[in-house]
């Protein structure tokens, strides 16, 4: 193997030669990123990019405290969980302390997909049912069972649709959906869609396991749920004998600012909570928290073992991440800077008709682009153009939503007000350029 630095072209051609082609790259001209620090990434020439899209390196890229915790524990010991070790119980106690009762038991796994996969097994074992309610546009992970519960994938290119045990509830989208606004009435109207699915399940020869939902919809297009939606939907699911799973893989750990967990913004307590991405700041760590009853029902003789889950290195990393969030008051930072950024972005709406909606909680924000504010015609091509131009301005964004027209903003939560100013200023310029570009194109 060569030891000299590989050029971008060489890496690209070797990726094509050695890696499965289903793996994609960001940007028309892919970036070679060699270093990260805080909210910034650096390419091979030392150019700095503001990372507005990476919700994994939650407390900042290469946070020294997290790196030190990882290195110190890796130098000492890394084994599976079949020996006693203090790190796993310390970490479990600290993680569970962030959750309301009766969420008091946890399992450690290695990815958001493993967490959701386990959540499905817990729900099925506890209820004896199989049928699962999901939300249209949702993504919950990459395994076979999770593609089955992810309309984002099974209804997309290469997908084979939903199996009969999966039931998709209408997306509770207060901007684009049939019921508008964030009030309780809208929440109840969308939750009635969950009620209709429950009736179908109960009328057929089927048995309910439960419902899984993100407390703020990520792949669905950075959608903030209307008030009361989860409370009403979860009440209906429980009344039908199902359990309620909150997928906090994208939104948990203080990102929403007002609360530590996304589900708290909806005033509910789920039966199962799944966590991933930010939990290990980039280290492959994930977790599931649940009630004592559900965990006990799952202990039915079949052991749950996960070779890497809960190892001492992962637990040391997880603990360091929780310590940093607390000591650097990053939840409060997400609240304060997120509100400031939302204001700044909303301020652009007067000058730029392309922005149809700006929404978000804390540092989880979506900017939906439309060609027409009346018809809501999605501006997908414009969104791609803007993301490319923002990259040239040194800012990394990406696109989400079923119509590919939502700019998603979910930076490391060490993001500052200065970063927000830089972002809003650059977006203002790029939107103005985009308007000129469009006018030129249409002449």
Question: Which chain residues interact with ligand PMP by CB under 6 A?
Answer: 111-113, 116, 139-142, 214, 218, 247, 249-250, 276
Distance CA 421, CA 4 (A): 39
Cis peptide bond upstream of 286, omega within 30: no
Contact 137, 151 (CB under 8 A): yes
Residue closer to ligand PMP by CB (options 250, 398) is 250
Residue closer to ligand PMP by CB (options 51, 247) is 247
**Residue with token string 């270093």:** 35
Nearest to 426 by CA among 345, 358, 361, 368: 345
Q: Residue with CB nearest ligand PMP?
A: 112
Q: Shortest Cβ distance from residue 213 to ligand PMP (Å)?
A: 10
Q: Shortest Cβ distance from residue 436 to ligand PMP (Å)?
A: 35
> What is the 8-class DSSP label of residue 365?
E
For helices 380-392 and 417-442, the axis angle rounded to 10 degrees is 130
Q: Shortest Cβ distance from residue 140 to ligand PMP (Å)?
A: 5
Q: Shortest Cβ distance from residue 139 to ligand PMP (Å)?
A: 5
Instruction: Return the C-alpha torsion angle 121, 289, 231, 240, nearest 10.
Output: 30
Residue closer to ligand PMP by CB (options 245, 431) is 245
Residue closer to ligand PMP by CB (options 172, 218) is 218
**Residue with token string 């700044």:** 344
Q: Shortest Cβ distance from residue 341 to ligand PMP (Å)?
A: 21
Residue closer to ligand PMP by CB (options 247, 382) is 247
Residue closer to ligand PMP by CB (options 210, 276) is 276
Q: Which two tokens stand for residue 365?
A: 């924000």
Contact 174, 180 (CB under 8 A): yes
Contact 236, 308 (CB under 8 A): no
Q: Shortest Cβ distance from residue 347 to ligand PMP (Å)?
A: 29
């Amino acid at each position: 193997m060569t030891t000299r630095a590989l050029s971008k072209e060489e890496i690209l051609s070797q990726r094509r030669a050695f890696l499965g082609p289903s793996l994609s790259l960001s940007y028309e001209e892919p970036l070679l990123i060699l270093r990260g620090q805080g909210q910034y990434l650096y390419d091979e020439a030392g150019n700095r990019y503001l990372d507005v899209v990476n919700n994994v390196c939650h407390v900042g890229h290469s946070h020294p405290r997290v790196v030190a915790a990882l290195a110190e524990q890796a130098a000492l010991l890394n084994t599976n969980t079949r020996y006693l070790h203090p790190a796993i119980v310390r970490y479990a106690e600290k993680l569970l302390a962030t959750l309301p009762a009766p969420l008091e038991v946890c399992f450690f796994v290695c990815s958001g997909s493993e967490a959701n996969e386990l959540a499905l097994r817990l729900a099925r074992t506890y209820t004896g049912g199989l049928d699962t309610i999901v939300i249209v546009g949702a993504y919950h992970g990459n395994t076979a069972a999770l593609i089955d519960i992810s309309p984002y994938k099974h209804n997309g290119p290469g997908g084979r649709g939903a199996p009969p045990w999966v039931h998709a509830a209408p997306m509770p989208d207060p901007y684009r959906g049939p019921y508008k606004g964030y009030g309780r009435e809208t929440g109840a109207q969308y939750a009635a869609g969950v009620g209709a699915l429950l009736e179908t399940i109960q009328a057929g020869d089927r048995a309910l396991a439960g419902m899984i939902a993100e407390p703020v919809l990520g792949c669905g297009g950075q959608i903030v749920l209307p008030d009361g939606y989860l409370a009403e939907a979860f009440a209906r699911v429980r009344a039908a004998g199902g359990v309620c799973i909150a997928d906090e893989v994208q939104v948990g750990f203080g990102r929403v600012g007002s609360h530590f967990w996304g589900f708290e913004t909806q005033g509910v307590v789920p039966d199962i909570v799944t966590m991933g991405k930010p939990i290990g700041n980039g280290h492959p760590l994930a977790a599931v928290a649940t009630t004592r009853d559900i965990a006990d029902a799952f202990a039915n003789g079949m052991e749950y073992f996960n070779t890497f889950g809960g190892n001492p290195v992962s637990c040391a990393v997880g603990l360091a991440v929780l310590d940093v969030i607390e000591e650097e008051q990053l939840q409060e930072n997400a609240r304060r800077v997120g509100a400031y950024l939302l204001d700044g972005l909303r301020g652009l709406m007067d000058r730029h008709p392309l922005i149809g909606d700006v929404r978000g909680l804390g540092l989880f924000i979506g900017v939906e682009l439309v060609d027409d504010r009346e018809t809501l015609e999605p501006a997908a091509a414009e969104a791609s153009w803007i993301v490319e131009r923002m990259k040239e301005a040194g800012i990394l964004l990406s696109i989400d939503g079923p119509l590919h027209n939502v700019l998603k903003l979910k930076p490391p939560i060490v993001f500052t007000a200065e970063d927000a100013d830089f972002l809003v200023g650059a977006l203002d310029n790029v939107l103005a350029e985009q308007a000129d570009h469009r006018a030129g194109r249409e002449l």
